[in-house]
Structure 1
């Protein structure tokens, strides 16, 4: 017999709602052989979309809310090619959903920071026009200047008192070396616990000789890892990462955008995918996937709504027809009810 269980809400620790085509027409995607190809395809797609950023972001974020997400960290593109319209659009969508969803906006230099002139000035402006965090991206492979890129984003973060969230797709020994530099810089700047690495694909290759030393450096700096288990992207050995003291949270990444046709906005689906991609089979392993999608993400974002969950009487909770958390992760049902402030959520179009 199926029981009713209650859980904390979901937290999406890494999502790109400004890029989504959710609620819009179908986007046919162009083949890409490299990160540079993907970034170029992304810009062309964004410039071609007819629906506003606010409308598309609201459609996706509403879908997330109805599937139990109560907080998210949204990475939002900033560049001369698009100005600050994505920041304004996502912030407007977030304000419409404010009673139900806590949103942190990251100003994200997707198309390069130093290598795309004018972006750094727009990043600074974004922090006064709706962005909460400073983002970065592959200082070497995208910007071609590891120390210059870090100088710029750490300076922005310090000047405005903001945290950092850096995309790092680079792999192998070079990727690990960048991570150790970032960890050292984090400690030198006194920003322990305030820096996140998104993706961190170099950390997903346990065969690398320097993987242990790199994880230890990240742990010493209090740096989080946000992983997404998207498509063919590498996933970490969670036992290895956590055994070194590095905290991990889970996100959706791109949802039905130029990068990928997949994604649902449901963190239950994402926990299932993480379990599948990492070979989870025991109850403990499946429960960890759920934890990374809920309370771990809440710790990263400082979400009191999710961290404050105390059981069936919590004012903010999810209700499911299931007998256990491992069963939830495998079956990935939608919640029967999403409860915020003691009331079941209903959203208007």
Structure 2
């Protein structure tokens, strides 16, 4: 008779989704076919049309995704939620209502001007109102490529954040030297305003282009300003050179971005899956490289969100996940769901 091996239980810190859009998700609904899109502008227009066609409320859809993420070990989340003159604060209110139904999950909401800020009159006022109805941070989007007004857009974002005493999280898809110039301007404003560690840039594709002459200078400015960079390792999108980011001292977190929304049919809401994708896209081979991907999807996100029970995790912590895995390298490779999700000594799943 051959004995059956006893499964190995691995205890880990909780996971953090550092960049996700729960108000856009169709999670839990029947299949949604996507329209083709080849540009960022087309993706945004598809999103605008889809948002106004959903039969289920923002709260219902967000709760479906958030509860699934929690079951898969996500204990913290930075949620980018659309605010505009058309939508007002409704999406923020829906996501906040969904989050309040899940006390085991910390959700920080970014008021996100997906459809433009200075180019969409009334949106800045809606952004300000959203900070009183559930949003925590002030967002922004491509000051150059979408808004066409680098200083006007950043004046609005930093000005609102200063008046409200909030942190900032800006989407920046623009690539090339122009993208790096925008990032340097954000870094300069961050330093000048004394906002070290209180600004995040999502995507930051220009920082992933190792051929750009001013990349090193820009990475140094980002590190000096304490700016967090959120990467999602999506499809053909650029990914950071992790060793280079580490050499320059740039802090990186991982996120899901869109999960089954109008932009993409992909996404599972599992940050173990996202760590796997980041490891795969960055050519991880060794155990240390696989473990680094898990750390970016967990303890780094905990530091960005200010969650010490994740950021400063030890095996003795009362907040933890349990997996059937030998070690973190195998966990990132095999992508199992957690067997237990515990926060503050209480099982939340």
Q: Does the TM-score normalized on the shorter chain lie above 0.5? A: yes
Return the offset for 1:304.
Answer: 2.6
Assess if the C-alpha contact under 8 Å between 1:110 and 1:137 holds in 2.
yes
Is 1:153 the counterpart of 2:162 in the alignment?
A: no
Give the Cα separation in 1 of the matches to 2:89 and 2:313.
Answer: 36
Q: What is the match of residue 314 of structure 1?
A: 317
Superposed counterparts of 1:208-287, under 5 Å: 208-287=212-291
3-state SS of 2:23 partner: coil
TM-score of the superposition, structure 2-length normalised? 0.97
Give the Cα separation in 2 of the matches to 1:220 and 1:345.
Answer: 38
Assess if the C-alpha contact under 8 Å between 1:29 and 1:258 holds in 2.
yes
Cα deviation per residue 1:175-211 (whole Å; 9 max; x = unaligned)? 0011111111111111111100000000111111111
Give the Cα separation in 1 of the matches to 2:309 and 2:65.
Answer: 21
Return the offset for 1:227.
Answer: 0.3
Is 1:57 the counterpart of 2:62 in the alignment?
A: yes
Unaligned runs of 5+ in 1: none
Assess if the C-alpha contact under 8 Å between 2:301 and 2:311 holds in 1.
no
Return the offset for 1:308.
Answer: 4.7
Moved over 4 A (4+): none
Return the offset for 1:341.
Answer: 2.7
Which of 340, 343, 349 is the equivalent residue of 2:343?
Answer: 340
Superposed counterparts of 1:1-349, under 5 Å: 1=5, 2-98=7-103, 100-311=104-315, 313-346=316-349
Give the Cα separation in 1 of the matches to 2:32 and 2:62.
Answer: 16
CA RMSD of aligned residues (A): 1.0
Assess if the C-alpha contact under 8 Å between 2:231 and 2:252 holds in 1.
yes
Assess if the C-alpha contact under 8 Å between 1:280 and 1:286 holds in 2.
yes
Assess if the C-alpha contact under 8 Å between 1:70 and 1:305 holds in 2.
no
TM-score of the superposition, structure 1-length normalised? 0.97
Give the Cα separation in 1 of the matches to 2:75 and 2:123.
Answer: 31
The count of aligned residue pairs is 344
Give the Cα separation in 1 of the matches to 2:108 and 2:242.
Answer: 25
Give the Cα separation in 2 of the matches to 1:109 and 1:336.
Answer: 38
Give the Cα separation in 2 of the matches to 1:185 and 1:345.
Answer: 40
